[in-house]
Every structure is written in C-alpha cells, then in structure tokens.
Structure 1
Amino acid sequence: MDGITLLLVEDNVLNQKLIFLTLSKYGFNIDVANNGKEALDKLDSRSYDIILMDLMMPVMDGLEATRSIRDRERDRADKNIIIGLTANTYDADRDKCLSEGMDEYMAKPFDIEKFQEIISSFGFEMTSV
C-alpha cells in the first residue's frame, strides 16, 4: 500500500505538527490546510481517502467546509470520509457534526488509538513504517 492520503484541516500549528508527526509514523500521505477554504482549494486538485476536519477555524469553519464538500459530491458516487475534530466533547457537538455531513467525530487532544478505531470502521488499516 502506498499509504492512506489524508487532508488535515486544522488552524492550530501545534496541533498540525502533532497530528502530522503522529500519522507520518504510520505511512499516511498528509496535506495540511489551515482552514476550510484552503481545504476546498486542495480538493479541487487532489482527492483524499480521509479528511480530518477541525470545527473551529477562521475564514471558513469545518462545518461550512463539510457542507460545501457534500454539495460538491451530490452527483458523484464517491464520497469523502470526513472526521470532525474538536476540543468539545459534548454529545450535541457530535450530533451536529454528523447532521452537517461528517462521517464521524473525535475529540482533541488527538488520540491515535481512537483514530485507528474510527478509520478501521471505514475499511482502512494503519501500518507502522
């Protein structure tokens, strides 16, 4: 396997580095976007297996970006897997993520075991490099 392609949409540089370094150890091919608008721009030129989307960002937040992605996919068979990422752990936040079109949700700080559990439910398997 050439590695799972992942778009990390996160405005916090420390979180970007932590998640990037963690997932790089498992062979992920990662692009980073600082907000939802940058994510949409990246999706214009490349497809990804998984999008890890922060909810609270400047310019365009994760929920608005997710709605735009789902609008773009309306007439396509293939859909992006979007996992919401937020510091909030309330059930209402999870429900909002799912109702806005995200496939799953996880709380910060980033937990590699939880992430592995989530992506395995979509048929992806992580391997150490």
Structure 2
Amino acid sequence: LAAPPAFTVIRGPAMPVAAAPESTTTPNGPIDILIAEDNDVNQLVFGQILNGLGLSYRIAGNGRTAVEMYRALRPKLILMDVSMPEMNGYEATRAIRAMETSTGTHIPIIGVTAHALKGDRDKCIESGMDDYLPKPVSPDRLGTKIGTWLSETVVAKTA
C-alpha cells in the first residue's frame, strides 16, 4: 500500500504562482533550485515541498524562460518538466548544456515526466539530463533526489 501524500492540494481560485514572493530567493546570487514546470498545480506542489525543505527556488513556466533563468540565476540544480510550451524540457536541457560547454560548468538537471514509460528515462539521459523523476512527485522522493545531487542531506519532513 502506498502512503498517502504528505501534502494536500486545495482546489480553489487559481493563484499566480509565477509571482512567488521574493523571500524564496537570495537577493542577488545563485538559488538552490530552478523549477521548469508549466502546470500551475505542479508548480504549487514543488513550491510547497521545497519550502518545507528550506530551499530557495524560482519557477520558469516554459523551457525558453528556464534557459534564460538558468543563465541569470545559476541554480545549483534544475527540475526540468519534459513537456512544456515554447521549448520542451529536452530542448531546454540541450540549450543549457551547450552554454555549459563554454563555461566549463555542469548543473545537475533532473527530468520530471508524467510518462513513466520504459524509454522515458533514456530520453532524459540522452538529452543531457542527469537523472529522472516520474510524476506524481512525492516529498520523500524529491528530497532524496535533491539530496543526492546537491550532496547535502535534505530530509523531507515526515508526519
């Protein structure tokens, strides 16, 4: 039996998640996590989990914005939804990897996809992503993935 999710999604009037309070990021410096996700509910879920872990983050609503925010914010890690408008997660990852060749850096990118099919992990890795996380995303699994890639002990709060 699967444990119930550690968060509750409340369906109500849509709140503009993109206008996240500035307190979620350091004033002018790198952030912990860049979330590339176009779905409002998923943005909210990611935000709640990362707030619970005490991590700074910003949300990009599409792949093109994610590439621009990567360039500006230099996150320590990117959670990249694979299916987004304007530029999908695979294309955005390839664009970021191309920029990294000139800087000699490598930011971990975790592909996030609702398609838990056999070839999906391979598609993520082939596009330059470092890891893969199927949806729905649980706080425990997300905390473990982030902890693995940031080499920090990030423990999701358990009830």
| Both structures adopt the same fold (TM-score exceeding 0.5) | yes
Q: How does 1:1-129 map to 2 (within 5 A)?
A: 5-122=32-149, 123-126=151-154
Structure 1 consecutive aligned stretches of length 4 or more whose deviation exceeds 3 Å: none
CA contact 1:49–1:81 (8 Å) conserved in 2: yes
What TM-score do you get using the length of structure 2 for normalisation?
Answer: 0.74
**How many residues matched?**
127
Deviation at 1:120, TM superposition (A): 2.8
Which has the greater radius of gyration? Answer: 2
Give the distance between the partners of 1:44 and 1:82, measured in 2 at CA: 14
CA contact 1:10–1:54 (8 Å) conserved in 2: yes
Query: Secondary structure, in 3 states, of the residue corresponding to 1:83?
Result: strand
Give percent identity, aligned residues only: 35
List gaps (5 residues or longer) in structure 2. 1-25
Deviates more, 1:71-80 or 1:17-26: 71-80
Greater RCO, 1 or 2 (C-alpha within 8 Å, sep 6+): 1
Give the distance between the partners of 1:60 and 1:79, measured in 2 at CA: 20
Name the residue aligned to 2:15. none
Deviation at 1:118, TM superposition (A): 2.0
Deviation at 1:11, TM superposition (A): 0.3
Query: Secondary structure, in 3 states, of the residue corresponding to 2:83?
Result: coil
Kindly report the root-mean-square deviation, in angstroms, between the aligned alpha carbons of the 2 structures: 1.8
Counterpart amino acid of residue 119 in structure 2 = A
